[in-house]
Amino acid sequence: MTDLDPTAEADRLIAAALSDCVRMPAPRRLRDQLVRQHLRTRKPWWSWAAAFALGAATAAVFALVIARDPAPTIALVDEAVGDHLRIVSAQHPLAVEASDMHQVKPWFTGRLDFVPPVSFLGDDEFRLRGGDIAIFLGHKAAAFVYQRRLHTISLFVFADADPRSREETTVRGFHVLSWATAGFGMALVSDIGWDDLRLLEARLRN
Amino acid sequence: MPMALPRKPRLAVVADRGEPGASLAEQALEHVDELYGLARHLCATASDAEDIVQETYARALGGVARLAADSNLRAWLFRILRNCFIDQARRKKIVLEISDDSVGDRPAHEVWDTAALDQLRYLAAADLERAVATLPFELRFIVVLDAQGFNEAEIADIARCAPGTVKSRLFRARARLRAALQGRT
């Protein structure tokens, strides 16, 4: 093994970390606005009428759903997917790589101002890969990473005083399952199927 | 006989609002995450960042700016975003700190032992972002472009400066980042 110049190695590590954080998913409302403004195509009048009718119906259904049970904020879901993408595309390993929860959980001590209420140790079906710090909704959050076959599942745990109802949302193909427990927000994100994600949720809640 | 003027490069109208422009708009919108990432590192707030990304696309696809034939769409969008950021700073009367290229940063005494390098391996994104935020605008701009994968010639083209200037700014930006991160991690 050759001896690397330590300063060059420091530059390489900083560059690797930078390349992970320079690409940020644009907020969905910005993306939607840009698409509306710049990808507009000319359509016959009846398509506008149909779109209007469909939009009105969707809005009515949406309003009913909102009135019954508020959906998770767009910010939470976007943030969860963005942080999950940062984890799966990162070139450097997780801050703590271990399949033993007794190694992963203590690593957060001193790095977070709360103890993440996660006790699921992982098993043969959901192998714990490790943990890391994520910035979630402007605050530090714990990220636990599980592996199910070839799929990566991120669990974000953040201090959250808002009581949130359990929600299932799909954004750009990623499933986000969020709930609240004892003053903490939890968000599971993966490209895995809903059944598997619900299975992991059940194990985390036990 | 009048002297012949040099021919201007052939220009391609980017957005005619018609069907041909649509595919270019689609291509341009593929870069929205990268542009937003740069904007977030330049602007103080997320809403300012969204504004300059909006303005970038408005200029690029609204027919204000034109893309020269055979030029790099991605680099062109980043150049427009840089101009939008400078215009936004002017409107908000923000004085941008410009690094003095004539002054070389004196190399500080640095010790990167195994423990210090390990700290960098587990660097928190928030610490890195704080360190990048301490850089003057031009250094921040160049270091983010470098991290986005642009080479020095492309960065020079986007930032409208000589490749040698890019090289020296990158050198100074890296030295400042190392200094900011040593002791912070």
Q: What is the ipTM of this complex?
A: 0.75
Q: CA B85, CA B69: separation in Å to the nearest integer?
A: 25
Residue type, A78: D
Average pLDDT of the segment spanning B9-36: 63
**Eight-class DSSP state of A4:** P
Choose between B145 and B106: higher pLDDT: B145
Q: Is A75 on the interface with B (CB under 8 A)?
A: no
Decide if A140 and B19 are in contact by the 8 Å CB cutoff.
Answer: no
- DSSP structure string for A178-203: EEEETTEEEEEEESS-HHHHHHHHHH
Average pLDDT, chain B: 80
Among chain B residues, the shortest Cα distance to A38 is held by B25
Cα separation values, A111 from A106, A139, A141, B116, B140, Å: 10, 12, 9, 17, 27
A31 interaction partners in chain B (CB closer than 8 Å): 29, 32
pTM above 0.80, yes or no: no
- pLDDT at residue B1 tops 50: no
Scored b (16 or more CB within 10 A) or e, A45-64 reads eeeeeeeeeeeeeeeeeeee
Distance from CA of A37 to the nearest CA of B (A): 9
Nearest Cα residue to B57 out of B82, B37, B32: B32
Residue A24: which of B33, B117, B149 has the nearest Cβ?
B33
Choose between B101 and A200: higher pLDDT: A200
A41 interaction partners in chain B (CB closer than 8 Å): 19, 22
pLDDT tens, residue by residue, B47-78: 999 999 999 999 988 765 677 777 789 999 99
Cα B57 from chain centroid (whole Å): 15
Q: How confident is residue B98, by pLDDT bands cut at 50, 70 and 90?
A: low
- Predicted pLDDT at A38: 82
Q: CA A169, CA A178: separation in Å to the nearest integer?
A: 8
Best mutation target, B33, B56, B84, to test chain A (most A CBs within 10 A) = B33
Average pLDDT of the segment spanning B2-7: 42
- Predicted pLDDT at A87: 85
Q: CA B178, CA B131: separation in Å to the nearest integer?
A: 9
- Predicted pLDDT at A40: 60
Choose between A170 and B10: higher pLDDT: A170
- Predicted pLDDT at B9: 36
Decide if B32 and A30 are in contact by the 8 Å CB cutoff.
Answer: yes
Spell out the per-residue pLDDT of chain A, length 206, in tens: 445 688 888 888 888 888 877 877 888 889 888 988 887 654 555 555 666 677 676 666 555 544 444 445 677 888 888 889 888 887 677 888 888 888 899 999 888 888 999 988 888 889 999 999 887 777 788 999 999 888 899 999 998 767 678 898 988 888 999 998 888 889 999 998 899 999 999 999 88
Residue A34: which of B57, B132, B148 has the nearest Cβ?
B57
Backbone angles phi, psi at B81, to 5 degrees: -60, -40
- Predicted pLDDT at B105: 57
Query: Please, where are the H alpha helices in A97-193?
Result: 101-107
Bridge partners of A128?
A: A146
Residue B125: which of A21, A30, A31 has the nearest Cβ?
A21
A11 interaction partners in chain B (CB closer than 8 Å): 174, 178
- Predicted pLDDT at A50: 67
User: What interhelical angle do B73-91 and B32-42 show, nearest 10?
Assistant: 30
pLDDT tens, residue by residue, B113-170: 888 888 888 777 788 888 998 899 889 999 999 998 899 999 998 988 899 999 999 9
Percent above pLDDT 70 for chain B: 78
How many separate helices (H) and strands (E) can be counted in chain B? 9, 2
Cα separation values, B35 from A24, B81, B135, Å: 9, 7, 19
- Predicted pLDDT at A61: 59
Among chain B residues, the shortest Cα distance to A32 is held by B29
A97 interaction partners in chain B (CB closer than 8 Å): none
- Predicted pLDDT at A164: 72
Among chain B residues, the shortest Cα distance to A14 is held by B120
Tokens at A177, concatenated:
């399952």
- Predicted pLDDT at A183: 84
